[in-house]
Structure 1
Amino acid sequence: MVPKGEGGIAKGRATIALAGAFALAVAHQYLFYGHLFGVSYPIFMLLLYAYMFHDRRSHWREETGFGWFLFVVVLLLSLTYALFDNPVFQALDLFAIPSLFFLHLAYSRGAGKADWWDIRLLEDALQHFVARSLRHVPTSFKIMKFMTTRRRKASGNKTALKVLAGLALSLPLLFVVVTLLASADGVFEKALSAVPSWWSRLPVGETFARLVWIFVAGILFFCYLWGFVKPGIRKTTVPETEAEDEDSRTDGLRADPIIMATLLVSVNAVYVLFVVIQFTYLFGAWQGDLPDGKTYAEYARSGFLELVAVTLINFALLMFALTTGGGKQAEGRLRRAISSLLYVLVGCSGVMLYSAYSRLILYEDVYGYTYIRFLVHAFMIYLAILLIIAAIRIRTDIIPLAKCYIVVSLAAYVLVNYVGMDRIIAEKNIERYRESGTIDPSYLSELSLDAVPTLAKFAKREYPSLQPLLENKRDVLSGSGRGWQSFNWARHAAERELDRLFDK
């Protein structure tokens, strides 16, 4: 009979899970110890997914379309460490990838079984990451104890198992002790001259650190997995009536339609006046028809942040009206009036967003293209898409607002990771140089390695003054040896283009 562990789960199954956790920990330290993130990151994420989903028997739900979508998002983001070198997104992805992974696991295997658009999914993910994982730390040690003390029918097998266990425990200790004694006494070190030379070259500190890394990581991986297998709570299901419409959760927060209509009339009156005045010179700015005799730079700077801030306020007001049902409770003319006012709000917000966007383009024409300005561009386009979705939602309740916004936000974040920000910034600044003769070579040299192929060609054909700055980059690259785990396509392409530039 197979011995049973805590809660009736077979210990043999737990033993396999713990062994897999330590195997994953070995791979983890091999891929990341002493190496920068590179191709190792997507490889490890695939191994981690394989470990977390290897046991189909303990799944709480079948993988859905959104589950696969989130899986693709996580893998694509992890793949950026092998393809690109942008420091901004690499820093953001250090937080984004684990967070999305934990949310994916909580959605696919979580004990709470919350819907992917439900805010309670965040709570479930946090519970699994902390509480339900920590409660299985003693379980991992019980399994290790069980592995070393379980009885065998044949006494010879039992003795052999104990001998192997003793050797496994003694080898790391003997390695550390012998190496320390050899370092302390030259005579003892001479006596060990018969030992292969590679023994003395193995660093004690690194080996010990790797062993600790494997042990700690193995325990953590097992505890996280076992928190899903044995969450410590009963399986619960969300009633289908609750899962059909995310707006069902807002029943306790409703906006009075008359109050909402009054609010919208008040703010729209101001916005319409602003838009009418804005149209008198908004499109004429491109032909030099600027207000109050301002220069392009002054016009571009004035009001940009304010316009973006007002657009965000309008968006928040629009979300409040849609999610609290300000127009749903009204009937007849009042409901149609509120819908019309919401359309006016969307239209005014669109004009403000376009005005801010045009000012930013003018500002870039004068001062050049940078990380922050590129990201503001991307954010404004993203906000415009959200406004369009909200406008469609005003017309029909069929559009699931929260679901659309979650999917669009994740897709937008992946897209902005893959669009090649540094390369685009370099190309735009080069185009500006060709038109105006103005360029900032110091800033261009500070762009990540994604921009180096473009800059190397530009330095060779049009701007030789950039070559010394690129040569400094080449020296830094050539002086940093890396293993295959840190392979990065952007770094490889940069080294290749720099070699072509300077090895003439």
Structure 2
Amino acid sequence: MNNRSTPLLGRSPKALIAAVVLAIVHQYLFYGHVLGVSYPIFIILFYAFMYHLANDRMRAPTPFGWLLLIVNLMLSMTYVLFNNSFFYVLNVLVIPPLIFIHMSYMLSARRIEWWKIRIIQDALDHLFVQSTRHFPTVFKVIRLSTFRRMNKQRKGVMSKVLLGLVIALPFLVIVINLLASADGVFNSLLSGVPGWLDQLSYSESVLRLIWVIIFGFLFFGYLWGFIKQKTYDWEKRAQAAKAQLRTDSEAAALTVQSSYQIDPIIMATVLIAFNAVYVLFVVVQFTYLFGAGQGILPEGSSYAEYARSGFVELIAVSIINFAIMMITLVFGSAQGQSALKKLNNAMLYILVGCSFVMLYSAYMRLTLYEDTFGYTYIRFLVHAFMLFLAILLIIAGFRIHYARIPLTKCYIVLGLISYVMMNYIGMDRIIASNNIERFRESGKIDVNYLTDLSTDATPLLIHFAQKEYPELQESLRNQQTDLWRDSNRAWPSFNLSHYRAERALNRYFEEEITKSH
């Protein structure tokens, strides 16, 4: 009994206090505030909370562990540096799963490698199962920490006193607020000691208290799920089976491996069938592909019609081609005749080449479409996706010849780096710049869309209004009014892009007033 309670009493009170403090900070940073500088501050505190209290469960530092830490911190900083609404929402969905995967990778007793899909299962297990099973541990920690030095009689008295306080506390809050509302002198007395009591309404006080209690449980349960992780029976059986598998012969292992491979003749037939169609398509489209920019289009087609037609289909086919390549590279048999293997590799190279031609065709169509109708978020993101897919194809192309290239590892690292780059590339500013350049060439511009861009583009739009397009001034005035309405944001919601745009607009209109006088 003592051996079991000693570790619990050693670290658990400190962990529970830290979880409650972190929950208090959490409600202070996020209750009633939009995300801003509060987000990276909390992420840093959360990492410190987990790593400090569970440092004995942490695996040795690895390059991927550092990469994921940097990615999470950089993504959280976007809420301070930028104001793009698309990534504002998307990062709310992306950052927490990345943090949970990072915690699972660094602290889980299972020590799952980061490129294996089981890491997601382990992260979900810690988030929903391992954490919730430790919610009752909170009460056990309080009981053991409070009563371990008392005799039986004192424990009974103290239990009843605490129970009475717990029952009375919510009713006392209600009664005190009602009496303060009914009597001004009593309210003045309460407002003096302490001064902040009259500033909190009953509903807000209760909500903040509930917030702290819920997140205190969540933070402690999540931490303790790593410190005292439960091993399931099926895991023990799987570990035993894995140990037994190591003692089996290599021939049996090869038999198991070969059951997941596709016959090379079947794969060659599939690749030849697809490539025959793709080569014909590329030959037919080659003239239009490289001649559209010089006005060589299919008969009866305008630039807009050509740009719009077939774009989505080409992207879809490129994705299908990429899937075929992945299946061939991962499940294609390494055994068999050398000539058949060379044939399959040649077919894969043709597939890569045709896919690049299709991507380039789609890229040109989208470029023509943007020249005609302007630049938007969706079109920018599609451009980025095509470039990303092209890089994936290049890596897959190298993998055809160099079989040791780890595709899964490469794609995970590339995906993380690419996503961070998309956050930091300044999408709004690039879209605004391209639309302004389009105006200079064609005289066409969508003012409403420009002013709907985030404050990241505001300094560029101010310069454009000053030098070339004074008609934009009214829209900028409306944006300034909107920013004024948000100027009373609390410091946890501070955003650098918002702050710079507000200062730039104020300076711009002050100069305009000075010029008019």
* TM-score, normalised by the number of residues in structure 1: 0.91
**Deviation at 1:251?**
5.0
In the alignment, the residues of structure 1 paired with residue 502 and residue 427 of structure 2 have an alpha-carbon distance, to the nearest angstrom, of 19
**Deviation at 1:162?**
11
In the other structure, the counterpart of 1:416 is 422
In the other structure, the counterpart of 1:12 is 10
Asked if 1 retains the 8 angstrom alpha-carbon contact of 2:187 and 2:198, the reply is no
**Cα distance change, pair 404–204 in 1 and its aligned pair in 2 (3 A):** same
RMSD value over aligned CA atoms?
Answer: 2.9
**Cα distance change, pair 497–9 in 1 and its aligned pair in 2 (3 A):** same
In the other structure, the counterpart of 2:439 is 433
**Cα distance change, pair 121–501 in 1 and its aligned pair in 2 (3 A):** same
Asked if 1 retains the 8 angstrom alpha-carbon contact of 2:179 and 2:186, the reply is no
Asked if 1 retains the 8 angstrom alpha-carbon contact of 2:8 and 2:141, the reply is no
**Cα distance change, pair 194–263 in 1 and its aligned pair in 2 (3 A):** closer
1:131 aligns with 2:126: no
1:194 aligns with 2:189: yes
In the other structure, the counterpart of 1:313 is 320
In the alignment, the residues of structure 1 paired with residue 477 and residue 146 of structure 2 have an alpha-carbon distance, to the nearest angstrom, of 58
Seq. identity, %: 51
Asked if 1 retains the 8 angstrom alpha-carbon contact of 2:54 and 2:107, the reply is no
In the alignment, the residues of structure 1 paired with residue 362 and residue 80 of structure 2 have an alpha-carbon distance, to the nearest angstrom, of 35
Asked if 2 retains the 8 angstrom alpha-carbon contact of 1:41 and 1:78, the reply is yes
**Deviation at 1:131?**
0.8
Asked if 2 retains the 8 angstrom alpha-carbon contact of 1:45 and 1:78, the reply is yes
* Secondary structure at the counterpart of residue 308 of structure 1: helix
Residue-by-residue CA offset, 1:282-324 (whole Å, 9 max, x unaligned): 1111111112142211111111111111101101111110110
* Secondary structure at the counterpart of residue 115 of structure 2: coil
1:353 aligns with 2:359: yes
**What is the aligned length?**
492
Match of 1:214, as an amino acid? V
Residue-by-residue CA offset, 1:219-248 (whole Å, 9 max, x unaligned): 100000111111111798898x99xxxx99
**Cα distance change, pair 251–218 in 1 and its aligned pair in 2 (3 A):** farther
**Deviation at 1:163?**
9.3
In the alignment, the residues of structure 1 paired with residue 255 and residue 474 of structure 2 have an alpha-carbon distance, to the nearest angstrom, of 62
**Cα distance change, pair 313–248 in 1 and its aligned pair in 2 (3 A):** farther
Residue-by-residue CA offset, 1:48-91 (whole Å, 9 max, x unaligned): 01111113553152221111111111111111111111111111
**Cα distance change, pair 439–111 in 1 and its aligned pair in 2 (3 A):** same
Out of 344, 348, 353, the residue aligned to residue 342 of structure 1 is 348
Asked if 1 retains the 8 angstrom alpha-carbon contact of 2:51 and 2:58, the reply is no
In the alignment, the residues of structure 2 paired with residue 116 and residue 465 of structure 1 have an alpha-carbon distance, to the nearest angstrom, of 53
**Cα distance change, pair 229–251 in 1 and its aligned pair in 2 (3 A):** farther
Out of 244, 248, 267, the residue aligned to residue 260 of structure 1 is 267
In the alignment, the residues of structure 2 paired with residue 45 and residue 248 of structure 1 have an alpha-carbon distance, to the nearest angstrom, of 47
In the other structure, the counterpart of 1:37 is 35
Asked if 2 retains the 8 angstrom alpha-carbon contact of 1:5 and 1:11, the reply is no
In the alignment, the residues of structure 2 paired with residue 56 and residue 14 of structure 1 have an alpha-carbon distance, to the nearest angstrom, of 11
* Secondary structure at the counterpart of residue 113 of structure 2: coil
1:149 aligns with 2:155: no
Out of 384, 393, 401, the residue aligned to residue 395 of structure 1 is 401
**Deviation at 1:9?**
2.6
In the other structure, the counterpart of 1:94 is 92
Out of 227, 230, 236, the residue aligned to residue 229 of structure 1 is 227
Unaligned runs of 5+ in 2: 247-253, 512-517
**Deviation at 1:182?**
2.5
**Deviation at 1:167?**
8.3
Match of 1:231, as an amino acid? Q
Write out aligned runs for 1:72-83 (5 A).
72-83=70-81
Residue-by-residue CA offset, 1:204-233 (whole Å, 9 max, x unaligned): 222221111111111100000111111111
Once structures 1 and 2 are overlaid, which stretch shifts more, 267-276 or 140-149?
140-149
Match of 1:424, as an amino acid? I
* Secondary structure at the counterpart of residue 10 of structure 1: helix
Write out aligned runs for 1:163-312 (5 A).
174-183=172-181, 185-186=182-183, 189-197=184-192, 198=195, 199-233=197-231, 251-312=258-319
* Secondary structure at the counterpart of residue 136 of structure 1: helix
Residue-by-residue CA offset, 1:260-303 (whole Å, 9 max, x unaligned): 01111111011111111222231111111112142211111111
Residue-by-residue CA offset, 1:431-469 (whole Å, 9 max, x unaligned): 000110000001111111111111121122211221111
**Deviation at 1:191?**
4.2
**Deviation at 1:142?**
1.1
In the alignment, the residues of structure 2 paired with residue 3 and residue 84 of structure 1 have an alpha-carbon distance, to the nearest angstrom, of 54
In the alignment, the residues of structure 1 paired with residue 45 and residue 120 of structure 2 have an alpha-carbon distance, to the nearest angstrom, of 24
Asked if 1 retains the 8 angstrom alpha-carbon contact of 2:267 and 2:332, the reply is no
Match of 1:289, as an amino acid? I
Once structures 1 and 2 are overlaid, which stretch shifts more, 331-340 or 195-204?
195-204
In the alignment, the residues of structure 2 paired with residue 457 and residue 164 of structure 1 have an alpha-carbon distance, to the nearest angstrom, of 65
Match of 2:285, as an amino acid? Q
In the alignment, the residues of structure 2 paired with residue 450 and residue 250 of structure 1 have an alpha-carbon distance, to the nearest angstrom, of 52
Asked if 2 retains the 8 angstrom alpha-carbon contact of 1:369 and 1:428, the reply is yes
Write out aligned runs for 1:23-34 (5 A).
23-34=21-32
In the alignment, the residues of structure 1 paired with residue 497 and residue 187 of structure 2 have an alpha-carbon distance, to the nearest angstrom, of 47
Asked if 2 retains the 8 angstrom alpha-carbon contact of 1:107 and 1:113, the reply is yes
Match of 2:189, as an amino acid? A
Match of 2:446, as an amino acid? D
* Secondary structure at the counterpart of residue 131 of structure 2: helix
1:329 aligns with 2:324: no
In the other structure, the counterpart of 1:103 is 101
Once structures 1 and 2 are overlaid, which stretch shifts more, 407-416 or 51-60?
51-60
In the alignment, the residues of structure 1 paired with residue 53 and residue 256 of structure 2 have an alpha-carbon distance, to the nearest angstrom, of 34
In the other structure, the counterpart of 1:476 is 482
**Cα distance change, pair 141–349 in 1 and its aligned pair in 2 (3 A):** same
In the alignment, the residues of structure 2 paired with residue 163 and residue 418 of structure 1 have an alpha-carbon distance, to the nearest angstrom, of 56
Asked if 1 retains the 8 angstrom alpha-carbon contact of 2:9 and 2:145, the reply is no
Residue-by-residue CA offset, 1:374-420 (whole Å, 9 max, x unaligned): 00000000000000000000001110011101111111111111101
* TM-score, normalised by the number of residues in structure 2: 0.89
Unaligned runs of 5+ in 1: none
In the alignment, the residues of structure 2 paired with residue 389 and residue 162 of structure 1 have an alpha-carbon distance, to the nearest angstrom, of 68
Once structures 1 and 2 are overlaid, which stretch shifts more, 461-470 or 164-173?
164-173
In the alignment, the residues of structure 2 paired with residue 165 and residue 19 of structure 1 have an alpha-carbon distance, to the nearest angstrom, of 20
Residue-by-residue CA offset, 1:183-204 (whole Å, 9 max, x unaligned): 2x33xx4345434453433322
Match of 1:331, as an amino acid? Q
Asked if 2 retains the 8 angstrom alpha-carbon contact of 1:148 and 1:165, the reply is no
In the alignment, the residues of structure 2 paired with residue 3 and residue 487 of structure 1 have an alpha-carbon distance, to the nearest angstrom, of 50
